[in-house]
Structure 1
């Protein structure tokens, strides 16, 4: 049974504190690298990363000729090795140099995509993981190793995996603690809100939590990392007014696969912003009111929420925008207003931003909007 992101974070920390080597196993794109970076930040550790799948045999222990006396590094406490630029040896020099200048600081050496390297590369790293030694070089005591792997079909629960991996040596399996990392949509959505992921993606995955990751699709398939790319691309498409074109579906399909992209595009079309941000900013008050009043009550609420969510995520709040938002809120029914404010409070930071803007500027437009929001919020208690 897999662990969520936060559970994996805690498990890895416990294993490291027990002076053991955690092996994080999970599908590509679920956040293994981000997790190690967060743990390093949390524990004030210096992080060094080696992508094993990009390495060749000899990077660790065979120097590249020609070598001069300047090519060798003699350390004070840990031995002698050749400085092969951009290979493992250079990473080791950086690690040891840091260890000598920061003897009391923890150092994390993250060996990412460990089982996607060749058997020869994995064998080279065996002594590092098992013996903490490369030839005559010994790793400093404060260096803690973390491994990450993609699943392979020999692992329990991953029989249908089709990653191009090399089986890990039994000695590695015996000397490391395997942690299965899984995805949790609720947890990811909380992160997505703080990371300013596009609100339409948050809404879609809130309604379709199983779509966060589809590991066994034959086509390209969604992953948390893929959804992050979709968010960035969707924001760019909106800036260029290209959201409702064929280009959008092709770009999104390049991240999510055709089937999921088609479903997401259908969701976008069904819930699209009838008033896009440019129209909202540029239309006169009369044109804006006429466009908005042409919608039914359900559509008004949906359009206004999506519009405000976009303003919130792109940090575009201004005095003019505050005035126009209040104009549209006043065109929504009392029940619709209450529902809107409730969603804004639970799913965005917009209300707190309006309050902060009012306190820092005392602008009348911010004051009017914030007072209206307060009035709506307390209507239930009258």
Structure 2
């Protein structure tokens, strides 16, 4: 299912509070963006136990139960995890990954809040979640009869929401500081090949692994952990970022003239990282209209042109990364800055020769 409108993790609890208490809700979203943890946190906020059923691990009898003979008649006895006397949150995780038979078994539970003779206690909520077929995750087409029984909400990853949560959740300082500088690296679309990719969940895993190793973790271990959890390009820049932290060497020092671009061959990953961070700084601080640019932004633009010359002397390829267009060929940096770069670079090169 494709999303026309999405909600952020910060918006989802309010939607669930007002909708899930009256109608079952299905939360769509890419792997690793926090669907399951958000539902469990929502249940905790209501003081409800959260009973999770994984669609990929269910058979129809796991829901409807098995027949028993009572007073000469047969009746189905639903499992004890579902048949509770007090209100709870029934979380149907990976619902759309379950078999058609299991999906069919959910019909009455979702629409009528009933399994056989058992009815969910008043005050219970039913929430489903699953990945989209476009995420290269296990997902089956959802039957129209089941689809029409749910209110559908599409969740998107939000760097702002995740960073606000991470600040108080014990996330490793390297991970937190890196994503404060590169929030665009929090999430990437799942690749078509079997390889790690960046999500809020994978950054959390990297944080846990770094905490486990402690402060003395060496560079090779950082490389192994980063490439084992993140998109390869993100892993490379994260490793370079850790080098800057450990050596107190960063973009600010370069901008202030307190340090030069790293030129040693063994520091090429660090050079790439600083160049990408420099590009992100220019994108963030340079306004589209030069007339509205602040004095600080004008100073950054002036200093930036000189730094581009210095960077090109080390690697023209890396310098081009700073001013490159996006994947669709559209300029990322303001046109006025690019015009000034084209105009002033020959003069700046001549001044350095």
**Aligned to 1:59, what secondary structure does the other structure show?**
helix
Change (3 A) 1:273 1:122: farther
List per-residue Cα deviations over 1:119-143 (Å, max 9, x = no partner).
Answer: 1211111221122222232222322
Q: Which residue of 1 aligns with 2:241?
A: 267
Counterpart pick for 1:82 among 59, 73, 77: 77
For normalisation by structure 1, the TM-score amounts to 0.59
Q: Distance in 1 between matches of 2:123 and 2:232?
A: 47
CA contact (8 A) 1:24 1:32 kept: yes
Q: Distance in 2 between matches of 1:297 and 1:80?
A: 80
Q: What's the C-alpha RMSD, in Å, of the aligned pairs?
A: 2.8
CA contact (8 A) 1:52 1:111 kept: yes
List per-residue Cα deviations over 1:111-161 (Å, max 9, x = no partner).
Answer: 1111111112111112211222222322223222111111224xxxxxxx3
Shift of residue 228, structure 1, vs aligned partner? 0.7
Q: Which residue of 2 aligns with 1:225?
A: 201
List per-residue Cα deviations over 1:285-331 (Å, max 9, x = no partner).
Answer: xxxxxxxxxxx9979xxxxxxxxxxxxxxxxxxxxxxxxxxxxxxxx
Shift of residue 58, structure 1, vs aligned partner? 2.1
1:1-382 matched pairs, under 5 angstroms = 1-17=5-21, 19-63=22-66, 81-82=76-77, 89-93=79-83, 95-96=84-85, 99=86, 106-153=87-134, 161-218=135-192, 219-239=195-215, 241-245=216-220, 247-272=221-246
Shift of residue 81, structure 1, vs aligned partner? 4.1
CA contact (8 A) 1:81 1:137 kept: no
CA contact (8 A) 2:210 2:217 kept: no
Q: Which residue of 1 aligns with 2:302?
A: none
Q: Distance in 2 between matches of 1:45 and 1:137?
A: 19
Change (3 A) 1:111 1:220: same
Q: Distance in 2 between matches of 1:80 and 1:5?
A: 42
List per-residue Cα deviations over 1:225-265 (Å, max 9, x = no partner).
Answer: 111110111122235x23322x3312221211433212211
Shift of residue 4, structure 1, vs aligned partner? 0.9
List per-residue Cα deviations over 1:170-194 (Å, max 9, x = no partner).
Answer: 1222121111111111121111110
Shift of residue 62, structure 1, vs aligned partner? 4.5
CA contact (8 A) 1:107 1:143 kept: yes
**Aligned to 1:142, what secondary structure does the other structure show?**
coil
Gap runs ≥5 in structure 2: 249-255, 260-353
Q: Distance in 2 between matches of 1:260 and 1:68?
A: 60
Q: Distance in 2 between matches of 1:243 and 1:232?
A: 16
CA contact (8 A) 2:31 2:137 kept: no
**Aligned to 1:3, what secondary structure does the other structure show?**
coil
For normalisation by structure 2, the TM-score amounts to 0.63
Q: Distance in 1 between matches of 2:190 and 2:52?
A: 28
Size of the alignment, in residue pairs? Answer: 245
Shift of residue 26, structure 1, vs aligned partner? 1.0
